[in-house]
């Protein structure tokens, strides 16, 4: 598990680029007061640390007293943010519009009402072009305030125009609020639980979605309304394992950014997330050619200015690009080749450990474990699965469950039969507690228990019988979740044919490509 410091100043300093650190030093040294010298000392001390340690700070900087440290840290934090604010960021529309709004307020306070109105008018025009409707509302409210307090005579019928504009903005904001709430709550449900586990889950999600989906006319929607609408359907389909719905709406999500090209630099994170889900949809549907096309599109973006413009964007592109690259090896059956990605992925996980959320790290650990398992290195697979199992979090209970199931199978492969009785009981109990026991998992547990008493002559027929049972369940919505997390059919085939799992996956891939060519 990566070390995580909760000290906010330390985290902020570790996120700074070299140029930003240099800019802060120049900013802080503009005054030579004692307080500024102390914050620079503290800045340098924190910058040199790998892990936050208050005792070391105080020991190496005797001029900073323990009772002063909290206040100096608070001052340092504000000064760093102030120095960052001064660095011009032409691509951050929020900062630019805030600046225009600040200028309008300054001019208003000076009594220059017409100049203030002129800036507000330009602000609204820019905000409309960039789909920033909340700034349109702020500008509109400020204009109404000026018109109500002063006789500007800036435009005839100004009051009626501003009232009409305000009503239109509020209608859009209300719909954006409802759709963004729906999208976020569905995504939150998935992060906590994963896919719908049973008919009760399905029913609850359907009722929630239908109850909270507001009425809309697609032709009247603006960029953000469409974005949150498509995201809502995307998460809804994914939770229900309706993969065609998931694919259709992730494609609409990405197409929306192609329609509003400028939004790729305004809402870069949303575009990256859309590309990730589109690539994942092609992966889940086994659409190799389209998967490859989308991956190439995303890789091209990751090397563009928009894909590298700040630390947040670089971290997101790293995460989703490398999940996609690992998935490509799963599709192609080249697990051993995929192991070459691991050193770089681990290096970046360490570099970004203060910024990555735990959910992403868990996903990487599971993907890496699957690479090792597929390539036949069960011991290394167990090492990464233990990282998930021993990490006490309440995220992705589905991932926790399948990590334990794969962990059980890996020990079975290694012939660690003295552990199996305990592991079977432990994993079964955990899956049952998490309400994650489907027919597929029940059948796997039955087979593993029974296999210990089977003679060598009966073990292969038993594998074949289990494979036939499970193949009948592959197209069941509530059972397909098991096959998405763990290719149990490929494992059974590998046992029947006595070859590594990746050979089975590779054979499927090459035969699939030949079939398409014919």
* Nearest residue to 196 via CA among 251, 248, 246: 246
Q: What is the DSSP letter of 90?
A: T
Instruction: Give pLDDT, residue 517.
Output: 41
The confidence band for 35, taking pLDDT boundaries of 50, 70 and 90, is: low
Instruction: Give pLDDT, residue 88.
Output: 62
Token duo for residue 386? 């233990």
The predicted model scores a pTM of: 0.85
Instruction: Give pLDDT, residue 4.
Output: 45
- Give the model confidence (pLDDT) of 224-263 as tens digits: 999 999 999 999 999 999 999 999 999 999 999 999 999 9
Cα distances (Å, whole numbers) of residue 150 to 113, 121, 153: 8, 17, 9
The confidence band for 91, taking pLDDT boundaries of 50, 70 and 90, is: low
Segment 312-330 mean pLDDT: 96
Q: How many CA atoms lie within 13 A of 177 on its CB side?
A: 7
Segment 400-407 mean pLDDT: 92
Q: Is the pLDDT of residue 346 over 90?
A: yes
Segment 399-419 mean pLDDT: 92
The confidence band for 393, taking pLDDT boundaries of 50, 70 and 90, is: low
Residue 396, number of CB atoms within 10 A of its CB:
21
The confidence band for 357, taking pLDDT boundaries of 50, 70 and 90, is: confident
Which of the residue ranges 6-15, 24-33, 280-289 would you say has the lowest mean pLDDT?
24-33
The confidence band for 518, taking pLDDT boundaries of 50, 70 and 90, is: very low
- Give the model confidence (pLDDT) of 147-169 as tens digits: 888 766 556 677 888 899 999 99
Token duo for residue 472? 């009948």
Q: Is the pLDDT of residue 454 over 90?
A: no
Token duo for residue 18? 């070299």
Q: What angle in degrees, to the nearest 10, is found between the helix axes of 439-451 and 397-414?
A: 20
Q: Is the pLDDT of residue 62 over 90?
A: no
Q: Report the C-alpha gap between 493 and 501 in whole angstroms.
A: 8
Domain ranges, ordered by start, for the chain: 8-86, 93-155
Give the percent of the chain with pLDDT over 90.
66
- Give the model confidence (pLDDT) of 106-135 as tens digits: 999 999 988 999 999 999 999 999 999 999
Q: Report the C-alpha gap between 379 and 270 in whole angstroms.
A: 38
Give the percent of the chain with pLDDT over 70.
94
Instruction: Give pLDDT, residue 320.
Output: 97
Measured distance between the N- and C-terminal CA atoms of the chain, rounded to whole angstroms: 48
Helix ranges (H only) for 303-377 are 311-332, 335-338, 342-351, 358-375
Instruction: Give pLDDT, residue 33.
Output: 60
Sort residue 487 into left (φ over 0), alpha (ψ -120 to 50) or beta. beta
Q: Is the pLDDT of residue 432 over 90?
A: no
Q: Is the pLDDT of residue 3 over 50?
A: no
Cα distances (Å, whole numbers) of residue 13 to 4, 89, 311, 356: 14, 19, 13, 16
More confident residue, 113 or 517: 113
- Give the model confidence (pLDDT) of 160-212 as tens digits: 888 999 999 999 999 999 999 999 999 999 988 888 888 899 999 999 999 99
The confidence band for 480, taking pLDDT boundaries of 50, 70 and 90, is: confident
Token duo for residue 151? 């006789």
| Average pLDDT for the chain | 90
With vertex at residue 308, the alpha carbon angle to CA 306 and CA 310, rounded to the nearest 5 degrees, is 100
Token duo for residue 63? 């001029």
Q: Report the C-alpha gap between 349 and 341 in whole angstroms.
A: 12
Q: Report the C-alpha gap between 366 and 223 in whole angstroms.
A: 35
Segment 49-78 mean pLDDT: 90
- Counted residue by residue, the chain has a size of 518
Q: Report the C-alpha gap between 253 and 278 in whole angstroms.
A: 9
């Amino acid at each position: 598990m990566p070390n995580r410091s909760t000290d906010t100043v330390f985290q902020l300093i570790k996120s700074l680029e070299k140029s930003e650190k240099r800019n802060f030093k120049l900013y802080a040294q503009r005054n030579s007061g004692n307080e500024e010298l102390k914050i620079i000392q503290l800045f340098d001390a924190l910058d040199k640390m790998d892990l936050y340690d208050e005792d070391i700070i105080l020991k190496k900087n005797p001029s900073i007293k323990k009772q002063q440290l909290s206040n100096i840290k608070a001052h340092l934090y504000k000064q760093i943010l102030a120095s960052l604010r001064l660095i011009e960021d032409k691509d951050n529309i929020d900062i630019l519009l805030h600046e225009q709004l600040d200028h309008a307020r300054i001019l208003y306070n000076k009594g220059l009402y017409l100049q203030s109105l002129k800036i507000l008018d330009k602000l609204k025009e820019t905000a409309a072009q960039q789909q920033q409707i909340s700034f349109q509302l702020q500008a509109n409210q400020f204009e109404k305030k000026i018109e109500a307090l002063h006789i500007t005579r800036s435009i005839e019928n100004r009051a009626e125009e501003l009232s009409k504009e305000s009503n239109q903005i509020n209608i859009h904001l209300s719909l954006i609020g409802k759709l963004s709430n729906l999208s976020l709550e569905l995504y939150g449900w998935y992060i906590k639980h994963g896919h719908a586990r049973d008919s009760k889950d399905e029913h609850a999600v359907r009722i929630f979605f239908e109850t909270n989906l507001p009425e809309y006319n697609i032709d009247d929607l603006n960029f953000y309304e469409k974005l949150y609408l498509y995201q809502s359907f995307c998460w809804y389909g994914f939770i229900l394992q309706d993969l065609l719905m998931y694919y259709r709406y992730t494609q609409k999500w990405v197409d929306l950014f192609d329609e509003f090209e400028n939004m790729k630099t305004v809402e870069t994170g949303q575009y990256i997330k859309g590309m990730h889900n589109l690539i994942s949809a092609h992966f889940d549907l086994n659409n190799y050619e389209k998967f490859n096309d989308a991956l190439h599109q995303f890789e091209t973006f990751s090397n563009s200015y928009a894909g590298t413009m700040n630390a947040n964007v670089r971290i997101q592109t790293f995460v989703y690009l490398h999940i996609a690259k690992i998935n490509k090896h799963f599709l192609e059956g080249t697990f051993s080749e995929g192991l070459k990605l691991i050193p770089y992925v681990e290096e970046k996980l360490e570099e970004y450990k203060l910024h990555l959320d735990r959910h992403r790290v868990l996903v990487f650990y599971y993907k890496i474990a699957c690479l090792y398992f597929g390539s036949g290195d069960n011991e290394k697979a167990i090492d990464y699965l233990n990282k998930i199992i021993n990490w006490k979090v309440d995220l992705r209970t589905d991932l926790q469950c399948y990590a334990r199931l794969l962990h059980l199978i890996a020990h079975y492969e290694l012939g660690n039969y003295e552990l199996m009785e305990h592991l079977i009981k432990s994993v079964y109990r955990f899956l049952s507690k998490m309400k994650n026991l489907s027919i597929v998992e029940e059948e796997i547990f039955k087979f593993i228990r029974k296999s210990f008493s089977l003679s060598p002559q009966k073990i292969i027929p038993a594998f074949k019988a289990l494979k036939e049972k499970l193949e009948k369940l592959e197209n069941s919505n509530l059972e397909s979740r098991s096959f998405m997390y763990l290719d149990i059919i490929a494992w059974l085939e590998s046992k029947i044919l006595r070859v590594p799992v990746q050979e089975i996956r590779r054979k499927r891939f090459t035969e699939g490509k030949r079939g398409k060519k014919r």
